[in-house]
Amino acid sequence: MSGAKLTKIAEALPSTVPFVGPEAAERQRGTAFTARLGANESVYGPSPKVLRAIEAAAPDVWMYGDPESHDLRRALALHHGVEMSEIVCGAGIDGLLNSIVRLHVEPGVSVVTSDGAYPTFNYHVAGYGGTLTKVPFRDDHEDPEALLRAATETGARLIYLSNPDNPMGSHHPAQVIDDMIADLPDGCLLVLDEAYIELAPDGTAPLIDTSNPQVIRMRTFSKAYGMAGMRIGYAIGEAGVIRSFEKVRNHFGIGRLSQQAALAALADTEWLEIVRAEVARARDRIAGIARENGLTPLPSATNFVTIDCGRGAEFAKTVLDALVARGIFIRMPFAEPGNRCIRVSCGTDQDLDRFAAALPPALAEAGSAMNDG
């Protein structure tokens, strides 16, 4: 009665999760968080029109969703001025990253990313047996030149770049990204994760050029559109690159309600403006709270603010733990030099009142711990 062997790749993989979810942390703590500011979700919620679309479509959930996401792709194509054949939908950017990595990465293949960037991408690269090279952030920005250099040195097949980036919240203007694209080595695909693009200043997103098979853009309804729990995102790219998803994707994997909700979300540009304004207001408030406590908020092009706690990684981790112990769910960057910071998602006024109340005692506690240590 012996079980089936795992593949060579799977055998070597740890059983892991790229992030511990807030619900799991709550179960460990035994109590709920009073402010959920750790997952860069949109506390402002989806558009009221999205809620109506969900309600209207709910009785139809006995039907599988359209495996082609035809209506949504048509709307997205119009929205972005591209062809439907240049768009593929997926169950969030996580699902799309899985597919693009699976298509291109096997043992012996090199991939380049920034140290401290999205762990789920790294999880996929490891999951398909690739070799990951990480280059450090520079001045709290991802470093296109270093990424290109590493890609050239390692003969990388993929480069991952988020713009705006998580976890620092910084961004590059479109020209920097366009210059990077122009300098991509042959045979290397730039996976440009634009999860936060709707919240970034104008001029952050390069013009979409679907004639270039070396760039694929990832977008999501999880952030500005407030639909993280609906699991829907999309990729835009050259038609041949997009068509390759048909080799491996889970065709019936996108929920019926998710497609309807995304259509409604895309159409409600007014709600997006409201969210943008709320996010800008919350960013300012978080930055203000940081400064009042002697900390340094970094500029943010996203729906979170990364705060430099000023005393290194151990201090930042102690501040994070002290906030979590006070019911404030936040996260922090994983890697040097970002890990001198904590990362706080935009919240409601009440969420930020609670953060503002918890931060001074958390800093005091962390300060004592450091002085004792």
Positions in 189-208 near a second copy (CB under 8 A):
189
Q: Which stretch binds a second copy (CB under 8 A): 50-58, 318-326, 333-341, 356-364?
A: 50-58
DSSP codes joined into one string, 71-113: HHHHHHHHHHT--GGGEEEESHHHHHHHHHHHHH--TT-EEEE
The CA distance from 90 to 206, in Å, is 22
**Residue 39 sits in the site that holds a second copy (CB under 8 A):** yes
Q: Which positions from 115 through 134 interact with a second copy, judged by CB under 8 A?
A: 120, 127-128
According to CB under 8 A, which one of 32, 138, 153, 252 is a site residue for a second copy? Answer: 252
**Could you give the CA distance from residue 341 to residue 176 in angstroms, rounded to a whole number?**
25
Residue among 49, 68, 131, 173 that touches a second copy (CB under 8 A)? 68
User: Are the CB atoms for 243 and 237 separated by under 8 Å?
Assistant: no
In the window 220-239, what residues touch a second copy (CB under 8 A)?
222, 226-231, 238
Gap between the Cα atoms of 332 and 320, Å rounded: 7
What lies within 8 Å, CB to CB, of 282 at 6+ separation is 303, 346, 347, 352
Minimum gap (Å) between residue 280 Cβ and a second copy: 18
Nearest-approach distance from CB 300 to a second copy, in angstroms: 19
**Does residue 169 bind a second copy (CB under 8 A)?**
no
Report if residue 144 touches a second copy, rule: CB under 8 A: no
Determine, following the binding rule CB under 8 A, whether residue 74 of this chain makes contact with a second copy: no
Question: Rounded to an integer, what distance in angstroms lies between the CA atom of residue 44 and that of residue 348?
Answer: 7
DSSP state of 141: B
Question: Could you check whether the bond before residue 46 is cis, i.e. omega within 30 degrees of 0?
Answer: no
Asked if 29 is part of the footprint of a second copy (rule: CB under 8 A), the reply reads: no
Judged by CB under 8 A, the stretch of 142-150, 163-171, 255-263, 276-284 that binds a second copy is 255-263
- Confirm if 92 and 233 have CB atoms less than 8 A apart: yes
Encoded tokens for 118: 């999205």
Site string for a second copy, 269-308 (x = CB under 8 A): ----------------------------------------
- Looking at the Cβ atoms of 137 and 304, the one nearer to a second copy is 304
Is 13 a binding residue for a second copy by CB under 8 A? The answer is yes
Considering only CA atoms, give the Rg of the chain.
21
Of 55-63, 288-296, 322-330, 354-362, the segment contacting a second copy by CB under 8 A is 55-63
Cα distances from 288 to residues 179, 257, 258, 294, in angstroms, run 35, 39, 36, 10
CB of 349 to a second copy, least distance (A): 16
Q: Which stretch binds a second copy (CB under 8 A): 52-60, 141-149, 162-170, 324-332?
A: 52-60
- Comparing CB distances to a second copy, the nearer of 6 and 325 is 6
Residue with smaller CB distance to a second copy, 15 or 31: 15
Separation CA 74–CA 80 (nearest Å): 10
If binding means CB under 8 A, how many residues of this protein chain bind a second copy?
93
